[in-house]
Amino acid sequence: MKGVRFTRATFSGSEVSFDDAVFSGSTVKFDDATFSGGEVSLHGVTFPSGSVDFHSVASWDSPPQFDDLVLTAPPAELLLPPPDIVRPS
């Protein structure tokens, strides 16, 4: 499968920005990644022919920040984790 993987990556104390990224032609996967602190942002992202898959994260305690519209009605190209992984903020 073509794409970028952040398998077992840990986002725990610094800032990572994917702001204004264009996900085109492949899938970016965060399998077993841990979001436990710091700030990961995906503001202004677009998905013309790609996708971002958070479905198999290990921890979502400090989830990435998206535009409000993305979270209100996530596009099909954005796979969020199942409810049992999501922790209230």
pTM score over 0.75: yes
Percent of the chain with pLDDT over 90: 54
Counting beta carbons within 10 angstroms of the beta carbon of residue 59, is it exposed (0 to 12), middle (13 to 18) or buried (19 or more)? middle
Answer positive or negative: Cα dihedral of 62, 88, 29, 9.
positive
Is residue 2 over pLDDT 90? Answer: no
User: Is a pLDDT exceeding 70 seen at residue 89?
Assistant: no
State residue 82's pLDDT score: 85
